[in-house]
Structure 1
Amino acid sequence: MASLKSLKMRIGSVKSTQKITKAMKMVAAAKLRRAQANAEAGRPYATRLAAVVASLASRVSVGPHSPKLIAGTGSDQTHLIVLATGDRGLAGAFNTNIVRAARRKAEQLEAAGKTVLFYIVGRKGRPVIQRFYPSAIIAQHDTSAMKAPGYTDAQAIAEDISQRYFAGQFDVAHLAYANFRSTLLQEPTVDQIIPVVPAVNPANDKNAAPAAATEYEPDEEAILAALLPRNVAIQVYRALLENQAGFYGSQMTAMDNATRNAGDMIKKLAIIYNRQRQAAITTELVEIISGAEAL
């Protein structure tokens, strides 16, 4: 049985922890507002750009002169998974869920006989991937000094990935990140970003609405050549924004749960402390009374 002094020290320690978790929850809640606004503001542009690029890709005939980001390498043997996670923990299962989704995708590709490589963005994904795929990590982009995701950071990541693609290091690239839905829900997502997946041709889809007559100036291939590199950067930028909002939402929830658990523990320890204190007082009274009667 723990002594009264040790119980009192433990209650004080839990109270200190509760103050820290409560403060972290308030900080995460304050940062979440801006991060959520940024993610929601960038989402329509990224979604629409991806749809436009996919629509254009379905209209062009792939040939020797087509952009490589749409034509591909002529093979799909080597797949690169760009794993975007956070740099810090104390956010529940946020990072774990993204890594789990990336590993699930890697297992599916390996089951199909494909070679899988990893490009790590953020620090929390590397330890797990290094344990299961020690020789598959080809690069890591450090984002620890990045206070808030910027387009220049996303552009640097996209350019590095594209250069590796043009150099023939891989054939297909997938982007793994967490789609922010709410403070309680961050949906791990794995999207193919290289080469672009063409949209379904309306002529081949009986349920599709008739396509509007559209003329492009200059032509589709010239527009695609300009849009494809930007699309890769925009999709990476969106992943960074979604991840930041998801991280703060998950951290706020985790710290709120930790604060509640600390409160419950304080109540239980206080009950034990009061019972032992009362038992000690009762024992002392009994000893005093017994001594008086003996006299």
Structure 2
Amino acid sequence: MTESKPLQWLQQARDGGYAVGAFNVHNDETTQALLLAAEQAQSPVFLQIGRAVVPHMGLRKAWEMTVRNARESDADYVVHLDHGPYDEVLEAIRLGFDSIMYDGAHLPFEENIATTRKVVQLAHEYGIPVEAELGRIPDADEHIEWGSYYTDVDEAERFVAETGVDMLAISAGVMHGTTAGEPQPLAIDLIARIRDVVPVPLVLHGASGVPDAQMHAAIGVGVHKLNADTDLRLAFRGGLEEAFGEGDRQLEYALLRGRDRMAAATVAKMRAYGCAGATAGRAVGVPAVDGAAVSA
């Protein structure tokens, strides 16, 4: 398969010691916020269509909304399907998504391999790279026994070899959403061990609430795509609450306040991930960790 823009970005991220941010769209204003941030930070951005917006408006309408806003922007973007089941993957391929994540992590391991391999073969015929997930990523409100969630190193090696996936999302202490208490420290040693046996870029979902130092350490051992949503949704909500806290306001006014708050929060993420400046050829990567250079 000819190397696509998403894979070019991740190779550049590997070379430059940073990660590219992947953030979810929910409506016009949140999509615009991500695009504004990418312009302001001179950063690439994965515009993710995922498990919240698809039930709300359907995959086609979410795609049309995202592409309409993106084409009016000067941002460097790709449109990515996040956590897609098999039927959504097929529709996303027909619509022309730039990359897809097929989520078979809930399936038994052998079935996950078989179905993911089928998705990869089909997507690659259209030049579309595939992300898949191995291990379990909990929601923040679950009771979590982390040992049962972590990605197994040997399974990761076999999974990538037998499926041909282009990106692998792993479980190493992340969760969907944010916890009210102290976040689970990332299993950096586990990420490094998976990196050593897996030739493709690693992905962490659930980067909201993860301290910058831990993200930088994860980038240093092979994570080059970071998914975050909750922190940005909370920023958008903060803008709405601020607007309505001033008294009765038009909804459009409040939505724009939310958009601007979310854009600023996204720029902060891009700087923390080290991808700010990448579209201008000036990405600086992330700080050294424990005195060692950050690189994959």
| Structure 2 length-normalised TM | 0.26
Which structure would you say has the larger Rg?
A: 1
Where is the helix percentage greater, Structure 1 or Structure 2? 1
- With CA pairs under 8 Å and 6+ residues apart, which has the higher RCO, 1 or 2? 1
